[in-house]
A and B are shown apart, each in its own frame.
Chain A
Amino acid sequence: MKIDHHIISQIITEGAHILDLGCGNGELLSFLEKQNQALVQGIELDEDQMHQCVERGLTVLQGDIESGLVDYPDQSFDYVILNQIMQQIKKADFVIQESLRVGKRVIVGFPNFAHIKARLTLFAQGRTPINDALPYYWFETPNIRFLTIRDFIDYCRKKDIKIEQKYYLGKSGLINILPNLFAQNALFVITRH
């Protein structure tokens, strides 16, 4: 089981209502449904992945992330999950703001571009970093933006978004020292309240 999935499962409350944007094949939602008795709704674009979701017994909507949130009333969900999609969406600010409207809390997970290995690859080799969290060559990557832990904290400060919890993930566990240098992935729980 993926470490970020475990952490998300520890974050969310029992029986919570959850919306997962870009839920993929539903691995995380399925885990949360079993582990937390969560009531889950996924949104995904890929038909094959969606079929896998339905096979897992999940509720999933075919739709893109940008337009998927608009019609939900305010505070429809306890948590909106944006896990590993921030680097792939066009209107990141819009999606975060909409998620904060639709969900009481938003869980954001993304690969940290400022990880030391990434920095070294860029600095010493002059190449675009490729590692566990960023496993693609430039010509095949679905990622359209790169952000760092510090970038995200700056953003939240600027937009007056409260960071309730933060988790910095290394290869095998949590990172406590100099996260922007040593964490490959980050998970934030943010809210408007």
Chain B
Amino acid sequence: MKKDSIGIVTPHVFSFAEPPATLKLESGRSLGPITLTYETYGRLNEKKSNAILVCHALSGDAHAAGIHKDDKTPGWWDDLIGQGKALDTNLYFVICSNVIGGCKGSTGPSSINPDTGKPYALDFPLITIADMVEAQRHLIDFFGIEKLLCAIGGSLGGMQALHWASAYPERIIASIPIATALKHSPQQIAFNEVIRQSIMADPAWRNGYYYEHGQPENGLAVARMIGHITFMSDQSMEEKFSRKLKNDNLSFQFIDDFEVEGYLRYRGYNFVKRFDANSYLYITKAMDYFDLSGDHFMPETKKTIVRFLVISFKSDWLYPTYQSQDIVRLLKRKHAYTTYFDLTSTYGHDAFLIEIEDETRLIKNFLANISPD
């Protein structure tokens, strides 16, 4: 455990949308009952005015900080959440919940369908970012929090932070979308489609009904490998791997000669152990459907008082700078007071998880100026 870690944390479970009061989804279908797994760090103050909602990215989960008992791996944003850190747990009450459609304790395609007693698989309805936010809204209501101090997240998490501001401007003081977009470009949809196709092309996928037989391992591993390529930059790959060989000589066989190949295989096949293939399909689809461009953003609001901190990273080619500038452009039209930084980093899309120093400085100073009243 790192010295500045918040220590051992325990996930909690929140259930709602018990039939007949199921959650009406954007698709028109409904879902219920719904379970959300979440973690919290810090303490909710008496006025319930110090809550920050952290929204995770595609393969993330509710475990954003600290460590679980009998586990060494810290949460995915451990460097950002804790005492004295950007999301200072001395000051703020930080909530992070697994999205619906996910596979880390929240209701998703691998959850048991109460109608059949078996995993939903593809009977699980398609969900959208709006549905994810709607589920989070129920959790926030459960805490009795009228107004979030802030919603923050990178990538998929950034979409949620944007959607919070758009759908519930009166329930949020600030929004921090990082390395994200108002909508996926055809290039981003294309990458996601190749990712989905690689899962679905694996015979072990069995049209989604694989739970009795085990995951479509090869398909999911390749899907994740594609993802990892898009998360890094040309420069960060050069620095990390260059053309270094795993062994001293070329093998003249189709094995992983280069370190980069070994890395992708390791990451790909490790991912299979911790992530459900169908969840990957559902969540990537939700990201592709997301569109807050133009009049979709804050449709009811001409002028907003929600404060924004928009962050992009110069080497991120998956969510390029221009997409964050599009966000800023839209915010200007809504008269929003906005802080925008295009941070220098060579880490590509991964930067929002790694480039902690600048991010911390920014977020900390930004939040210090957001008053709950």
Contacts and interface: CB of A to CB of B under 8 A. Distances in A.
A62 B340 contact: yes
A76 B335 contact: yes
A54 interface: yes
Interface in B336-373: 337-344, 361-362, 365-366, 368-369
A30 to B, nearest CB: 11
Contacts of B362: 51, 54
Contacts of A50: 341
A57 B368 CA distance: 7
Which range contains the number of B residues in contact with the other chain?
A: 20 to 34
A71 B332 contact: yes
Contacts of B222: none
B340 A63 contact: yes
Contacts of B329: 71
A72 B328 CA distance: 10
A160 B340 CA distance: 35
Contacts of A39: 337
Contacts of A61: 328, 338-340
A16 B328 CA distance: 22
B333 interface: yes
Nearest to B305: A39
A54 B332 contact: no
A50 B361 CA distance: 11
B338 A41 contact: yes
Given A59-B337, A76-B335, A51 B361 contact: yes
A82 interface: no
A190 interface: no
B11 to A, nearest CB: 33
Interface in A54-78: 54-55, 57-63, 71-73, 76
Which range contains the number of A residues in contact with the other chain?
A: 10 to 19
Main secondary structure of the interface of A (DSSP, over half): mixed
Most chain A CB within 10 A, of B332, B335, B338, is at B332
Contact of B339 (A60, A71, A76): A60
B307 interface: yes
A54 B335 contact: no
A39 B307 CA distance: 12
B339 A54 contact: yes
A47 interface: yes
B332 A62 contact: no
B339 A59 contact: yes
A57 B365 contact: yes
Contacts of A54: 339, 361-362, 365-366
Contacts of B338: 41, 59, 61
B372 to A, nearest CB: 15
A73 B335 contact: yes
B131 to A, nearest CB: 30
A51 B341 CA distance: 9
A122 to B, nearest CB: 41
Nearest to B362: A54
Interface of A: 39, 41, 47, 50-51, 54-55, 57-63, 71-73, 76
Given A51-B361, A60-B340, 9 more contacts: A47-B344, A50-B341, A54-B361, A58-B339, A61-B339, A62-B341, A71-B329, A73-B333, A76-B335
24 contacts: A41-B337, A41-B338, A47-B341, A47-B344, A50-B341, A51-B362, A51-B365, A54-B362, A54-B366, A57-B365, A57-B369, A59-B338, A59-B339, A61-B328, A61-B338, A61-B339, A62-B340, A62-B342, A71-B329, A72-B333, A72-B335, A73-B333, A76-B332, A76-B335
Interface of B: 307, 325, 328-329, 332-333, 335, 337-344, 361-362, 365-366, 368-369
